[in-house]
Amino acid sequence: PNHPPAIQPKPTAKTSSNLEASKQMSGSVSWLEWTQQLQAYIAWVNSQLRKRPDLKPVQDLRSDLQSGEVLAQLIEIISGEKIAGIIYQPESLQGMRENLDRILQFMASKKIRMHQITSKEILEGNLKA
């Protein structure tokens, strides 16, 4: 199946720490359960990435998705289509942001619902996204 496991964190106010934000997002879910959900999501992402032997597995969603490269590869595997204009090994935050904007535009054009995720949130490693 090409569907990620459901992670349903509660929206929270912005905090300075990803750890704090992640704990707050878990709401009634314990920290252990949140960590297990995150590990399940990473396992699902890696199960998709393994479909292309040249790709490395992700370890940390916060940092591994920031440049847009891995996210683009994941969406390309799932959709079976190439996303135009992705910069591999972007040398600047602007290049990373452009990658993420292209991916989000591609997903919107395919009617893939994204719950108000922005390139800024992904670039900042915001796990609520």
Tens of pLDDT along 70-119? Answer: 999 999 999 999 999 999 999 999 999 999 999 999 999 988 877 778 89
Task: Give me the helix-helix angle, 69-79 and 93-109, nearest 10°.
Answer: 20
Q: Confidence class of residue 34 from pLDDT cuts 50, 70 and 90?
A: confident
Percentage, residues of the chain above pLDDT 70: 76
Check residue 85 and give left, alpha or beta (phi > 0: left; psi -120 to 50: alpha): left
